[in-house]
Structure 1
Amino acid sequence: MAYAIELRNITKQFPGVLANDNITLKVEENTVHSILGENGSGKSTLMNVLFGLHKADQGEIYINGQKAVIHNPEDAYRYGVGMVHQHFMLVEQMTALENIILGKEVGNFFIDKEQSYKEVSALVEKYGFQLDLNEKVANLSIGMKQRVEILKTLYRGADTVILDEPSAVLTPQEVLELFDMIRSLKEKGKTIIFITHKLNEIMEVADTITVIRRGKVITSIDKNSTNTEKLANAMVGRDVTIIQSVEQEIQGDVVLEVNALPLLSHTNKTVSFSIRAGEIFGVAGVEGNGQLQLEESIVGLIKSSENQVMFHQQDIGQLNPASRKKLGIGYIPSDRFKRAILPDFSVLENILLGFQDSEPFVKNGVIQEKELYKYSNELIEKFDIRLPNASVPIKTLSGGNQQKVVVARETSRHPKLVVACQPTRGLDVGAIEFIHETLLKLRDEGKAILLISAELTEVMNLSDRIGVMFEGEFQDILTRDAFDQEHIGNLMAGNKKVGESS
């Protein structure tokens, strides 16, 4: 049988890391084949070999039964293989159409925009993508930008489309739309390779699933012959527990108090709530309803008016982030690349971030390397951060291990409040389990936790109370005995407004 894609004995090694260890993968034509694995398992590296971004140290690639020699992405496209990366490669100030045709323009001396529009419009109509080709990419939602990337691959003639962690940056609604697009591509004869670590997504759209763990193929199996528990075990090599909080009476002192805080500029609505020591207060809602502004207001990226943000009865509304950190506020940002790490700096230096003027790590302006190495190695062991050594750039770590560095740094200096925003976004089940355990342990130690997450199950599993946000205000604040997914979903959509219940 000739497969659409066949990788034979692919091995790829980087300094100190065997990313792909003699991997063989067979992808049937006109199917959705999912590659499942933890962050850092080697699944993206394998697809980068197929797409020509990496050269395998050994092994062969066959496409439609014929041996293929792929040195770069241009070669891959000649063989009908396209790839959509997790982080989009678009020119923001160009239109959707201009991005799609970029590098493959039609016309002799000038770009034939009319012909280009005609060809791309035919693709949009064929696959039912519903995209305004004349809109600037900067004005598009994340989901629409992803459609532009997929159309780029189709415009270049891809028969096999690789989607690398395609849902990592999408809202729940956009994920459903992505699944519809994948089904449409399959119905029109395309082959999809879907890289992910999210078990529920695999069971939704995949036909066949290959699990990779630490560079090796663990199993390849038909979706109908497995379940999420078996897949999770194959991913991490052990049974994975769904971490859940238990209902308890919160009696600690009020740590954070927010009073009539405005979040969105186009409305006069505000939020008011408090968090006690030993409590996780979750914020649920569709992204874009004020969660980012709440995050920024609590940690000091946005200043607030008198008495709007109180920390242990102290007005901190005008304090900067560094001052709030010194008072005891730990911060796990929603975007670790923008606000939590310096990618080119070492893991050691990233652990020091925010504490670079603090003893015992710095004395008289001089970094005490012995103390810093000792402390860093303790955190690496405690938080199971997988890396060759603490001196490697943090950008070389998997997403899960980068996030563990951030969580370790922000929770190990005895904070009184931890602001945890999208703490498990883009992480695999093993890393999610670890971070959930960490947050509940902090809660049990008497810390106050503000948990802001777009993952409703995460908020419901961990929180003692949930504020459901819509258009810059809480539709309701629910205690644990009132948690109901359907009811919270309605509140997230702005339906069924009721009074505050706490």
Structure 2
Amino acid sequence: MQACLSLRGITKCFGSFSALNHISLDVQPGEVLALLGENGAGKSTLMNIIYGLYQPTAGQILLNGQPVTFSSPLAAISHGIGMVHQHFMLVPAFTVAENVAIGQGKARLTLRLDQIAKELQQLAARYHLQVDPFARVADLPVGLQQQVEILKALHHGAKILILDEPTGVLTPKEITGLIQTVRSLAAQGTSVIFISHKLNEVLEISDRIVVLRQGQCVGEVSPQGTTPGDLARMMVGRDVSFQPDRQASPRGEAILVMDSVRAINDRGVAALQDISLAVHAGEIVGIAGVDGNGQTELAEIVTGLRLLTAGEVVIAGENLTNQTPLDFINQKVGHVPEDRKKNGSIKGFSLWETAVMKNHGNFPFSHSGILNHEKMIDHTQKLVRQYDVRMATIHQSAHSLSGGNLQKLILAREITATPKFIVVMHPTRGLDVGAIEFVHSQLLEARRQGAAILLISSELEEVMSLADRILILYEGKIVGQLLPDEYDPNHIGLLMAGAREAG
């Protein structure tokens, strides 16, 4: 059978740095090909070449045996290649049909929305999708928004569909639905390139698995007879522990106390409703929930980034209700934010500037108002060695790091400041198995040292493996609390979707 997509010797260089080195692979019609690799392995660069965002330095792309060149995503789309990005490219205020109409070729500009809606209904029925073409995207749950992205690509004529970390923001039930959708697409001839760090999902859904490491293809395996451990070794070159060593830890005094907290979001709508909770020294409390149910506002409130409309927040006995972020920092509050570039670092700052940016005014980095750059650089060099931050030089821009390495740098900055309380939001989203293992070990070490940790994550396996207690957040309310012997992913998934605990 002739491959529908072939890559031959694809190489991509950025200056003297080689991001991809002679990558060759084939994608067959109706095949689900999983692409694995650690952070910085070149997966995104390769997909950006296929999708026309980058041009290869060397090598060739073939569609059905014919050489092609994609100068832009529009050129790739016109050749039947679609991509669903990890962060959806939808206009929330538009309906499903209006979102699909965006990006139509000139020949389709006069097509009426009711005709597009009719075509979408036919596509949805064909691939067993549950999408109302007239629904406003802002009113749809995340799983249905993802279906809109898939429908949009199919409506644009995609025969090869790239899914970039598609399960990162989904509930277990939505993940099951996505897997069914992918199988339906493949059964009807659509080829799917599935990029994920979740090894069990890859083994369940794929027909073949290709592994990249340091810009090279290091292996291709069949899911049959392959274990997650096998894949992890191929990705990072060593054995990886999948189960964090969460040993019993004595629980100390309450460090964070929230009492009847209410807050609104940026649209003026209630985001948190009567939230009361406590996090103790030496304890990890996990917050499980589908994105958009108040997690962002919760993290902002306990770091001074958002005002309360009612209630109070106490940190280590100090009432910090509606105080400034600096007040929280001075009270030894650490924060690993969900957006590591927007909120965890500053564009244009080097690694060493990023590593000390919250503590630059403190000894030994500053004395009598004079900054000691030598101390800052020495400190950063120690951090990058201890936390295995892979970079060319500590003087390079922090934003030039891969996502996993920037996350390790931010985590190093926050944990080495010995916080009394730390809020960690989606700490391993988009990270490879090796980086995940390291991040988990550092969080558990901070817990062992007596830090109170609030872990906010949509990754159920992560929350269950790290948390001493789990609170489920739904529509801004805590709808359940579970202890380790009560952890069950199906039950937690139901609570995340709005079910209430009995009694």
TM-score (norm 2): 0.89
Structure 2 portions without partners, runs of 5+? none
Shift of 1:193: 0.9
Aligned counterpart, 2:216: 216
Question: 1:12-32 CA deviation, whole Å, 9 max, x = no partner?
Answer: 111353211111111121110
Aligned counterpart, 1:236: 236
Is residue 428 of structure 2 the alignment partner of residue 424 of structure 1? yes
Aligned counterpart, 2:373: 369
Is residue 15 of structure 2 the alignment partner of residue 15 of structure 1? yes
Q: Distance in 1 between matches of 2:493 and 2:174?
A: 15
Show the 5 A alignment for 1:438-449.
438-449=442-453
Shift of 1:439: 0.4
Shift of 1:169: 3.5
Q: Distance in 1 between matches of 2:362 and 2:236?
A: 37
Shift of 1:437: 0.2
- Do the aligned residues in 1 keep the contact of 2:121 with 2:132 (CA within 8 Å)? no
Q: Distance in 1 between matches of 2:347 and 2:175?
A: 28
Show the 5 A alignment for 1:469-488.
469-485=473-489, 488=492
Is residue 38 of structure 2 the alignment partner of residue 34 of structure 1? no
Code of the aligned partner of 1:23: I
Aligned counterpart, 2:314: 310
SS at match of 1:324: helix
| 1:457 maps to which of 450, 457, 461 | 461
Aligned counterpart, 1:496: 501
Aligned counterpart, 1:255: 255
- Do the aligned residues in 2 keep the contact of 1:206 with 1:223 (CA within 8 Å)? yes
Shift of 1:114: 4.1
Report the CA distance shift for 1:433/1:359 in structure 2 as closer, same or farther (over 3 A): same
SS at match of 2:59: strand
Shift of 1:70: 2.9
- Do the aligned residues in 1 keep the contact of 2:254 with 2:316 (CA within 8 Å)? yes
Q: Distance in 2 between matches of 1:222 and 1:162?
A: 19
Aligned counterpart, 1:60: 60
Q: Distance in 1 between matches of 2:54 and 2:471?
A: 46
Aligned counterpart, 1:383: 387
Identify the range of structure 1 (418-427 vs 460-469) with the bigger mean alpha-carbon deviation. 460-469
Report the CA distance shift for 1:125/1:106 in structure 2 as closer, same or farther (over 3 A): farther
Report the CA distance shift for 1:489/1:76 in structure 2 as closer, same or farther (over 3 A): closer
Shift of 1:88: 3.0
Report the CA distance shift for 1:253/1:495 in structure 2 as closer, same or farther (over 3 A): closer
Q: Distance in 2 between matches of 1:150 and 1:79?
A: 16
- Do the aligned residues in 2 keep the contact of 1:247 with 1:464 (CA within 8 Å)? no
Show the 5 A alignment for 1:11-410.
11-105=11-105, 110=110, 112-248=112-248, 250-262=250-262, 270-304=274-308, 308-362=312-366, 367-410=371-414
TM-score (norm 1): 0.90
Shift of 1:399: 1.5
Question: 1:162-217 CA deviation, whole Å, 9 max, x = no partner?
Answer: 11222233344433332222122112211111112211221221111101111111
Q: Distance in 2 between matches of 1:156 and 1:284?
A: 36
Over the matched positions of the two proteins, sequence identity in percent amounts to 39
Q: Distance in 2 between matches of 1:176 and 1:346?
A: 42
Q: Distance in 2 between matches of 1:238 and 1:298?
A: 38
Shift of 1:245: 4.2
Shift of 1:105: 5.0
Shift of 1:363: 5.5
Q: Distance in 2 between matches of 1:114 and 1:316?
A: 53
Code of the aligned partner of 2:303: V
Shift of 1:474: 4.0
Identify the range of structure 1 (337-346 vs 28-37) with the bigger mean alpha-carbon deviation. 337-346
Q: Distance in 2 between matches of 1:149 and 1:366?
A: 52
Q: Distance in 1 between matches of 2:278 and 2:108?
A: 65
Shift of 1:43: 1.1
Code of the aligned partner of 1:297: I
Q: Distance in 2 between matches of 1:488 and 1:231?
A: 28
SS at match of 1:83: strand
Report the CA distance shift for 1:94/1:347 in structure 2 as closer, same or farther (over 3 A): farther
- Do the aligned residues in 1 keep the contact of 2:88 with 2:146 (CA within 8 Å)? yes
Q: Distance in 1 between matches of 2:353 and 2:180?
A: 43
Code of the aligned partner of 2:85: H
Identify the range of structure 1 (159-168 vs 23-32) with the bigger mean alpha-carbon deviation. 159-168
Code of the aligned partner of 1:330: G
Identify the range of structure 1 (302-311 vs 271-280) with the bigger mean alpha-carbon deviation. 302-311
Code of the aligned partner of 1:372: M
Q: How many residues align?
A: 498
